Amino acid sequence: MTKWVYSFGGGSADGRADMKNLLGGKGANLAEMASLGLPVPPGLTITTEVCTYYYDNGRQYPAELEAQVNDALKAVEASVGAKFGDSDNPLLVSVRSGARVSMPGMMDTVLNLGLNDETVQGLARNSGNERFAWDSYRRFIQMYSDVVLGVDHYHFEELIEIHKEEKGVDLDTDLDADDWRELAGKFKAKTEEELGRPFPLDVKEQLWGAIGAVFGSWRIERAKVYRKLNNIPEAWGTAVNVQAMVFGNMGETSATGVAFTRDPSTGENEYYGEYLINAQGEDVVAGIRTPQNLTKRAREKAGATAPSMEESMPDVYGQLADVFAKLEKHYRDMQDIEFTVQNGKLWMLQTRAGKRTAKAALKIAVEMVAEGLIDEETAVMRVEPGALDQLLHPTLDPDAPRDILTRGLPASPGAASGIVVFDADTAEEKAKAGEAVILCRIETSPEDIHGMHAAKGILTARGGMTSHAAVVARGMGRPCVSGAGQIRIDGKAGVMTCMGREIKAGDIITIDGGSGEVMIGEVKTLQPELAGDFASLMVWADKYRKLKVRTNADTPTDTSAAREFGAEGIGLCRTEHMFFEGERIIAVRQMILAEDLKGRKEALAKLLPMQKGDFEEIFKIMRGLPVTIRLLDPPLHEFLPREDDEFEDVANAIGMDVKKLKQRANELHEFNPMLGHRGCRLGITYPEIYEMQARAIFEAALAVEADTGETVVPEIMIPLVATESELAILRGKVEAVAEEVFAEKGAKVDYMVGTMIELPRAAIAANKIANSADFFSFGTNDLTQTAIGISRDDAGRFLDQYVKMDIFAQDPFVSIDIDGVGELVKLGAERGRSTKADLKLGICGEHGGDPASVEFCHNVGLDYVSCSPFRVPIARLAAAQAALKDR
Ligand code: ADP
Ligand code: MG
Ligand code: MG
């Protein structure tokens, strides 16, 4: 018989931490903590297999489930010494979702389940605390109605507000047992009014209703959006945990909190957390009351007056510190935990590897190696390559003038400027239109995720460091300032005010998620520091990776930046960008529009010294390392004059009539330039262009070698080759130029000639093409366009929908389409090497900086990836991780 239900508690458990696939992350770690002997309220976990079964079978449960749940519940009852539904001594439970990986805020939890008009009396008697019992009951009705029955929580909040007003009090804490009893009655009536049927008072009905709601919530929209953004497969499903309640709302010696074993923002090795006295779980995260600091140090740093837990509950704080030490030693990682204190006793409700900023990930990984908790390989695996992006981005220039509007909590580091936007949809819209936006909200909720993702930064008026906005922003690597309490946001009117100043939608502000500052206007930023922890991790990454990492760079500035980021050469230097600079565009236009060979040669003679100069600079910066230069690739029409005055400039330069010139430009028009007269086709029809470029390369290489005494390693790359003969012909031309230049200068350089593989035909005929190639560079941007048959520039209209509908798992221009384009790369690599075993293989599309694509490149045995300068460290780390996974 299938085991659908796993028990935990009382020092033992059926499950273990490594059973996340079956028990979900929460369930597996509750089991692990119970086995470790930590204080965990007993409970049971319904497996993810039940979720899968449920959706595969028209939302039906397996037949044996109910009996297994009942048995496990009996064990919980025995352990707690209370009975579910018993009016004298009722057991209350929470019903909690838990997928394999944590999905913050996605799945709803119901607390205090098992309360009804009878059991609430039992709870009141047993606890000797009537107010607590009725408060718990009304919380339960509110939560259950909201989560399970779909009655929005604001209905209940409104009732509380009205009640407080009638009573003339401000705070929830001013309400007593009678108030909550009265409100519980009103809540039930409200739910009945909304639903047309009474609130369920049968505890079994409550339990199965909640279980069903958890499974149901796996497929609600916001959960789907989160999964999409985080590449979590729909098929995984969620587990359900049913756990005995412990109460943080029993009075002044009770509390609830969340904590990290190290600072998740900076990575400092000090406890970090927040707690609330006399409160229940959700209160901390929801940001309704402002929580207090866990440690004295953090309180002092924040300048807060409300006592820290270390000060107000030293004994429990001690219990907590012991648990932290045990957990870190056991899991060998920073943990994010939830706890509740019931009458001075600590209970653990959750632990998981804590989400952290890139900065913290780095620091924690490097320090844990020094502490002997983990080894270098583990440290390399701990930092998500894509997250390095956060560290490679600018921070505010400390000396730049700033007009500080207000200060909030430094919820997620990094600085960002952008226009103020008050809702998620607009944020997404504006970002799509290319604007940098700062999403400003009173507080965020899971419905805002798409807007948070689109924004450069997030600002909230309410909520603590563990509020939704803070947690999600840190996960996404967005700068975030939360709880900026002086700001009043009126989203409908499109304004926010702060200390008498007004900021309208569309105004520019800057936020610094590292300091919590909010500034009016744009503030100057600084480049990041690449020494310290970052350097240590990179040294380790370089030790393990097999792939080389080069950069795509066309300018000396990019080339220098890339070298600083650790690029081991240039994988793609596009020559056309150089053609647009300053005065030279006129010569380029002259070349294109020339009527004959003679005219073209005249123009090319003007371009030669300029190209040579470009290459010299780049060779100098990259000396000792290979530089792949791609000969002219784009359709000529991209260079054509458009405006009248541009035509005139060219006409003057050539001494040609403007009218005639325009006519010539018309002749060059193409219907589908991407598949037109471009790439090596230009070299075949106008060999003098490639000859000029080859000459510029060789002359520059010789000059730099003579100058610096270091070797220059040019790799000349012919684009858009489809057939062996194209490459053979052009290789011949390049070699002839080489001989010529070498004879003239009386010196030689080593060089290579190779091609881009960016057409399906080239990948398929790679065995033939390899005869004339010393290297292949997979141009996966064009290969994606030509293999799938979509134009990147026109894909915007449908690609989003394709990704939403899962037709493509991801945007194939961002992460390589492994099944299609990837197969072509694999085939091209294999066939190329079948002809030439030592053929050098690389990739130079955008994919070279995408971690998943880098892993793919490692797996198919390429020699290097090439990516934009800022992504070089990401590729280095991704390559190391791919190699470590492959061991
Ligand atoms: P989430 O995944 O959104 O954090 P959880 O299931 O962890 O949801 O629970 C939400 C809140 O309820 C947390 O603060 C948690 O500590 C609290 N909670 C859950 N189960 C219990 C319980 N059995 N007793 C007391 N508090 C609980
Ligand atoms: Mg939780
Ligand atoms: Mg191309």
More confident residue, 368 or 359: 368
Spatial distance between the Cα atoms of 883 and 664, rounded to a whole number of angstroms? 54
Q: Tell me what percent of the residues of the chain surpass a pLDDT of 90.
A: 72
CA 245 to ligand 2 centroid distance, Å: 14
CA 846 to ligand 3 centroid distance, Å: 11
887 Cβ neighbours under 8 A, 6+ residues apart: none
Judged against a pLDDT cut of 80, whether residue 282 lies above it is answered with no
Range in 65-79, 308-322, 613-627, 661-675 the model is least confident about: 661-675
CA 327 to ligand 1 centroid distance, Å: 19
Judged against a pLDDT cut of 80, whether residue 102 lies above it is answered with no
Q: For residue 76, what pLDDT is reported?
A: 98
The end-to-end CA distance of the chain, in Å, is 38
Nearest CA to ligand 1 atom 20: 94
Q: For residue 771, what pLDDT is reported?
A: 98
C-beta separation of 45 from 24 below 8 A: yes
Q: For residue 744, what pLDDT is reported?
A: 97
Q: For residue 568, what pLDDT is reported?
A: 97
Spatial distance between the Cα atoms of 491 and 819, rounded to a whole number of angstroms? 45
Catalytic residue among 393, 450, 468, 858: 468
In 566-719, DSSP assigns E strands to 570-574, 626-630, 713-718
What are the tens digits of pLDDT across the range 525-539? 776 777 889 999 999
Nearest CA to ligand 1 atom 17: 281
Q: Which residues surround ligand 3, an ion (CB under 5 A)?
A: 758, 779, 782
Q: For residue 475, what pLDDT is reported?
A: 58
Environment class of 202 (CB within 10 Å of its CB; exposed 0-12, middle 13-18, buried 19+): exposed
Question: Which ligand is the nearest neighbour of the Cα of 281?
Answer: 1
Sign, Cα dihedral of 605, 611, 615, 616? positive
Closest atom, ligand 1, to C-alpha of 105: 3
Instruction: Give the pLDDT band (50/70/90) at residue 290.
Output: confident
What are the tens digits of pLDDT across the range 830-866? 999 999 999 999 999 889 989 999 999 999 999 999 9
Q: For residue 582, what pLDDT is reported?
A: 62
Closest atom, ligand 1, to C-alpha of 338: 16
Spatial distance between the Cα atoms of 815 and 440, rounded to a whole number of angstroms? 31
Question: If DSSP codes are grouped into helix, strand and coil, which group holds residue 450?
Answer: helix
807 Cβ neighbours under 8 A, 6+ residues apart: none
Residue 566's nearest CA partner among 548, 582, 584 is 548
CA 275 to ligand 1 centroid distance, Å: 14
CA 466 to ligand 2 centroid distance, Å: 11
Spatial distance between the Cα atoms of 852 and 60, rounded to a whole number of angstroms? 37
What amino acid occupies position 281?
Answer: G
The pocket around ligand 1, CB under 6 angstroms, is made up of 41, 94, 96, 105, 109, 111, 243-246, 281-282, 338, 340, 349-350
CA–CA distances in Å: residue 71 to residues 26, 49, 66, 79: 21, 19, 9, 13
Environment class of 719 (CB within 10 Å of its CB; exposed 0-12, middle 13-18, buried 19+): buried
Residue 844 bears catalytic tag:
yes
Judged against a pLDDT cut of 70, whether residue 166 lies above it is answered with yes
Residue 590's nearest CA partner among 643, 646, 653, 665 is 653
Q: For residue 464, what pLDDT is reported?
A: 78
Residue 417, H or E segment: strand 415-421
CA 223 to ligand 2 centroid distance, Å: 15
- Average pLDDT of the chain is 92
Residue 438's nearest CA partner among 413, 419, 461 is 419
Question: Which ligand is the nearest neighbour of the Cα of 97?
Answer: 1
Instruction: Give the pLDDT band (50/70/90) at residue 95.
Output: very high
Instruction: Give the pLDDT band (50/70/90) at residue 657.
Output: confident
What are the tens digits of pLDDT across the range 1-10? 899 999 999 9
Judged against a pLDDT cut of 60, whether residue 106 lies above it is answered with no
What would the two tokens of residue 375 be? Answer: 């080894």
Cα torsion 112, 113, 114, 116 to 10°: value is: 80
Instruction: Give the pLDDT band (50/70/90) at residue 477.
Output: low
Q: How many residues does the chain have?
A: 887
Spatial distance between the Cα atoms of 381 and 880, rounded to a whole number of angstroms? 8
In 29-152, DSSP assigns E strands to 43-46, 83-84, 90-91, 93-99, 110-113
Q: For residue 286, what pLDDT is reported?
A: 64
Residue 240's nearest CA partner among 52, 87, 32, 412 is 52
Give me the mean pLDDT over the 747-769 stretch.
Answer: 98
More confident residue, 448 or 282: 448
Catalytic residue among 51, 440, 680, 844: 844
What amino acid occupies position 404?
Answer: I
Spatial distance between the Cα atoms of 442 and 106, rounded to a whole number of angstroms? 20
What are the tens digits of pLDDT across the range 763-788? 999 999 999 999 999 999 999 999 99
Judged against a pLDDT cut of 70, whether residue 456 lies above it is answered with yes
The alpha helices in 148-293, defined as continuous H runs, are 154-167, 177-195, 203-217, 221-229, 282-286
What are the tens digits of pLDDT across the range 609-630? 999 999 999 999 999 999 999 9
Give me the mean pLDDT over the 633-661 stretch.
Answer: 84
List of domains in the chain:
5-244 (3.30.1490.20), 255-356 (3.30.470.20), 393-526 (3.50.30.10), 545-885 (3.20.20.60)
SS3 content of the chain, % helix, strand, coil (to 5): 50, 20, 35
What would the two tokens of residue 803 be? Answer: 């990704």
What are the tens digits of pLDDT across the range 484-528? 999 999 999 999 999 999 999 999 999 998 889 999 999 987 767
Spatial distance between the Cα atoms of 484 and 512, rounded to a whole number of angstroms? 12
Residue 259, H or E segment: strand 255-260
What would the two tokens of residue 869 be? Answer: 């300068």
More confident residue, 138 or 870: 138
Spatial distance between the Cα atoms of 763 and 758, rounded to a whole number of angstroms? 8
722 Cβ neighbours under 8 A, 6+ residues apart: 759, 761, 762, 765
Judged against a pLDDT cut of 80, whether residue 583 lies above it is answered with no
Closest atom, ligand 1, to C-alpha of 281: 14
Residue 468 bears catalytic tag:
yes
Give me the mean pLDDT over the 463-480 stretch.
Answer: 77
Range in 141-150, 263-272, 663-672 the model is least confident about: 663-672
53 Cβ neighbours under 8 A, 6+ residues apart: 60, 61, 62
Judged against a pLDDT cut of 60, whether residue 105 lies above it is answered with no
Closest atom, ligand 1, to C-alpha of 248: 25
Q: Which residues surround ligand 2, an ion (CB under 5 A)?
A: 338, 350
Q: For residue 397, what pLDDT is reported?
A: 82
Question: Which ligand is the nearest neighbour of the Cα of 96?
Answer: 1
Q: For residue 358, what pLDDT is reported?
A: 85
User: Which mutation among 23, 214, 284, 338 tests ligand 1's pocket best, with the greatest number of atoms within 8 A of CB?
Assistant: 338
C-beta separation of 134 from 184 below 8 A: yes
Q: For residue 288, what pLDDT is reported?
A: 65
Q: For residue 545, what pLDDT is reported?
A: 97
Instruction: Give the pLDDT band (50/70/90) at residue 54.
Output: very high
